Amino acid sequence: MKLRGLLILIIVCSGLSLKAQHSSDIPKLYNRISINADKQPLADVLNEISRKGNFIFSYSGTVFNPDSLVTLNARNETVRDVLDRIFLSMADYRESGNYVILRSTIRRFSIHPELIKTDHRHYLISGYVIDEKTGQKVPDASVYEKRLLESTLSDKDGYFRMRIRGSHQSVILTLSKESYRDTSMLFLSTVTIKPEGYTYEDEEYMSYASNIVEKLGIGRFLVSAKQQIQSLNISGFLTSSPYQASLLPGLSSHGMFSSQVVNKASLNLLGGYTAGVDGAEVAGLFNISKNNVQYVQLAGLANLVGGSVRGFQAGGLVNSVLDSLVGFQAAGIVNDVRSGAEGWLAAGIFNHVRRDLNGWQVAGIGNLVSGNTRGVQTAGIGNVAAKQMKGIQIGGIFNYAKEMKGLQIGLVNVADTSSGFSIGLINWVNKGYHKLSLSSTDVFGTQLAVKTGTAKFYTMLIMSGSYGVNDRVYSAGYGIGHEFIFSKRLSASAELSSQGLYLGNWDYPNILNKGQLNMQFKLAKGLNLFAGPSYSIYYSDPASLSSEGYRERVAPKSAKVYSPKTKGWLGWSAGINLF
């Protein structure tokens, strides 16, 4: 009985797991939702649908009026059915990642062929793209053959001409343009077949490619207006090819279709524009990929990727990735990743990760992570971790982390909060340890020290002096310390410091190294007394002579002599800490 019960439990749990896994694979347009709207703005209704369907809508406010009012009562219907009821079949829906893209399809068009000619080498077709309702000729419409990867644009008069290599008894031409419903038509040598709602059965051809790279400055400059129109018209089409070669965007083995094709191998003599890379891509000057790049991408000047990069990317000047990076990225000037990054980023000047970094940044000038950082930042000038830093920052001049949970090494280190360590000339933690110490010691009548960092580890900038007749001595130095907190009023500090002494000339170095342990008692908020023993090691050349009016002997007569140049003795310090 126990064994049978255990088997039943395992089967039920497995079934639930498979059901959960299967439900996660359901296209977002087929998720079932319930929604009730009474004269609510379209934008609010779409926001509610996206919330319940767990996705994000993408659409143009110039095509769909977000303020139009919607009345709807749907119970356990698919997202597609709900959208059909809202838009009355005047919109087209496509999925891309976590997005559902809405496009208006209120208008329809078709091809009126003028000439169809075939031989054993080519299939030639020309004609006009016509608006079915108005009869007007449609300019800038994309005409393409999905299987053969041939495409063109209709001109300002709606005319197009396409020559397809090879012997073909038929072709299937598809029309696409913003605000028109996609139309596919089958052309034989002498017969045209236009089935209503003709679609391809092969889902390989149905995908979505983002056009965001064309909107950036470098994309607008390098991609021709015709290719931008083509890419906008057929953003819903994406396919793959074993290879492509190009001279420039548009002058490619895929022609103007290059922006819709993901290639295994891509060779661009000067520059290329593709839908993505699933292998290797090399360019003399630049690569532009609308979607993802996987494995290797190399360019003499720049790489621009509209999706993510998985693998190795190197550009002579710039790499820009509009999504995430997993792998290694190297650029002569700048690396810019607009989402998260895992791996290594090396740049001659600057690295920028706009979300989280899990890896290593190396730059000649600076590194910036706008999110959380787990790893290492190394820069010739400075590093910035805008949020949490778990790792190491090494900057030639400065480091900044909002929440420091690692190690900072630099001339100036700044953090908002810190549970780690900062090693530098100036270490400032906004919500940390800040004290001004005024004291006297066995060597100096007056000593001023600025202590900053955390109680666990702070640094000190020290200035000291004695001003008596024939007893003048001036000093500046640096130190580190740690505070032991016993109670609200009682604590102790252990400090190490090194100071250079000025005795009226710079003929020989005079170095005073000191370790001290002080007991501290808090009198009031921002004020405590301290006192304790110290031990000093003084290094000075026996030939060193003080100038007139300066102290002749720094070490007391009772000092232990370790060498002709080194002496040590037990001393003291006492004073107050402010703040």
Triad 74, 75, 78: Cα angle to 5°: 80
Which position has the token pair 């497995």? 14
The answer to whether 367 and 336 are in contact (CB under 8 A) is no
Among the listed ranges 70-84, 230-244, 379-393, which one has the minimum average pLDDT value?
A: 230-244
In this predicted model, what pLDDT tens digit does every residue of 408-432 receive, in sequence order? 999 999 999 999 999 999 999 999 9
What are the beta bridge partners of residue 277?
263, 293
C-beta atoms surrounding 511 within 10 Å: 16
Mean pLDDT of 271-287: 93
Q: Specify the pairing of strand 407-409 against strand 426-429.
A: unpaired
Q: What CATH architecture is 433-578?
A: Beta Barrel (2.40)
Residue 24 identity (one-letter amino acid): S
C-beta atoms surrounding 494 within 10 Å: 14
pLDDT at position 214: 61
Instruction: Pull the structure tokens for residue 380.
Output: 């010739």
Mean pLDDT of 566-575: 96
pLDDT band at residue 124 using 50, 70 and 90 as cut-offs: confident
CA dihedral 558, 561, 565, 568 (to 10 degrees): -60
Among the listed ranges 229-233, 447-451, 564-568, which one has the minimum average pLDDT value?
A: 229-233
Mean pLDDT of 222-250: 74
How far apart, in Å, are the Cα atoms of 135 and each of 6, 89, 158, 250, 500?
A: 71, 22, 11, 31, 92
C-beta atoms surrounding 419 within 10 Å: 13
Among the listed ranges 239-248, 355-364, 436-445, 470-479, which one has the minimum average pLDDT value?
A: 239-248
204 pLDDT higher than 80: no
pLDDT at position 232: 65
Report the distance separating Cα 175 and Cα 129, nearest Å: 8
Report the distance separating Cα 234 and Cα 225, nearest Å: 14
pLDDT band at residue 201 using 50, 70 and 90 as cut-offs: very low
Report the distance separating Cα 63 and Cα 413, nearest Å: 51
Tell me the average pLDDT of the chain: 86
The better pLDDT of the pair 493, 5 is held by 493
Global pTM value: 0.68
323 pLDDT higher than 80: yes
Domain 109-205 annotated CATH 3.40.50.300? no
- At residue 79, φ and ψ (nearest 5 deg) are -60, -40
pLDDT band at residue 207 using 50, 70 and 90 as cut-offs: very low
pLDDT at position 186: 83
Which three-class secondary structure state does DSSP give residue 141? coil
51 pLDDT higher than 80: yes
198 pLDDT higher than 90: no
The better pLDDT of the pair 43, 520 is held by 520
pLDDT band at residue 227 using 50, 70 and 90 as cut-offs: low
Report the distance separating Cα 160 and Cα 183, nearest Å: 16
Mean pLDDT of 163-180: 83
13 pLDDT higher than 60: no
218 pLDDT higher than 80: no
Mean pLDDT of 370-391: 97
pLDDT band at residue 59 using 50, 70 and 90 as cut-offs: confident
- Each domain of the chain, given as residue ranges in start order, spans 25-104, 109-205, 212-412, 433-578
pLDDT at position 240: 77
Which position has the token pair 């010691």? 441
pLDDT at position 456: 92
Instruction: State percent of the chain over pLDDT 70.
Output: 85
The better pLDDT of the pair 275, 93 is held by 275
149 pLDDT higher than 90: no
What are the beta bridge partners of residue 528?
522, 577
Which position has the token pair 């005795």? 503
pLDDT at position 213: 66
Report the distance separating Cα 338 and Cα 355, nearest Å: 7
- Which residues have C-beta within 8 Å of that of residue 133, sequence separation ≥ 6? 107, 108
Class of domain 25-104 (CATH, top level): alpha beta
25 pLDDT higher than 70: no
- Which residues have C-beta within 8 Å of that of residue 342, sequence separation ≥ 6? 324, 325, 326, 327, 357, 358, 359
Instruction: State percent of the chain over pLDDT 90.
Output: 55
Mean pLDDT of 309-327: 96
pLDDT at position 543: 82
- At residue 44, φ and ψ (nearest 5 deg) are -65, -40
357 pLDDT higher than 90: yes
Length of the chain in terms of residues written: 579
H or E element, residue 230: helix 225-233
pLDDT at position 191: 47
